[in-house]
Amino acid sequence: MGLFDKFKKNDKGQDFFVIAGLGNPGPKYAGTKHNVGFDVLDRLGKKYNIEIDKFKHKALVGDGMIEGKRVLLVKPQTFMNLSGESIREIVNFYKVPQDHFVVIYDDTSLPVSGVRIREKGSHGGHNGIRNMIAQMGTDEFWRIKVGIGEKPNGWDLADYVLAKFDKDDLPMIEQGADKAVKAVELILSRGIMDAMNQTNQKAKAPKKEKNEKTAEVKDEKKPQGEVKG
């Protein structure tokens, strides 16, 4: 039995949602591809005046209102590969049912600026989601995936996701983050199906100049093996 199954019949806090964004803590990882989930939460916090500054359950959290629903915004501080430890504690503590939980994270299978909503699914090689599935005992949780583009040939996946965006990609990732904010708003205001129907439109990869060079990662070290994609 998965963790969410305990709370299927929970009648408390029917308008209370947990919105989690995945990333790595600390200034070293700010602005990296793997921190897109954090970036989307920061945008939500800024738009709805929610300060994500309280430390609880191994995460920075902030509570407020979005689309008439009370929400808890959650940024796990465990490093990406252990994200599920924090999420499990929060879901347990607040007795969150499956349909009141959303996680936002980066996805290499989508082009930069692409956004997809899914009700469930495998980890797809994402170690943060892999750990969440292991900790929660289920892969049935809503997720918003934000495209960061496919790993270039010859790159190590960890180096790619820990790199910052190429400056030419910044406008596109800004669009993607805005789309993810809108996806959260749609889930809260209209439900998961309407949100999927409006959000999951086929995204086209942005055109790039022929001579454009892929961004290089310099002096970027993996955090003691804690983050591998």
What are the structure tokens assigned to 5, written together? 């199954």
Half-sphere exposure of 73 (CA within 13 A, CB side): 25
Rounded Cα distance between 132 and 152, Å, is 27
Please name the helix (run of DSSP H) or strand (run of DSSP E) that holds residue 90, with its range, or none: helix 83-94
Rounded Cα distance between 91 and 137, Å, is 12
| Secondary structure (3-state) at 70 | strand
DSSP 8-state code for residue 161: H
**Could you confirm whether 126 is annotated as catalytic?**
no
Residues with catalytic roles: 34
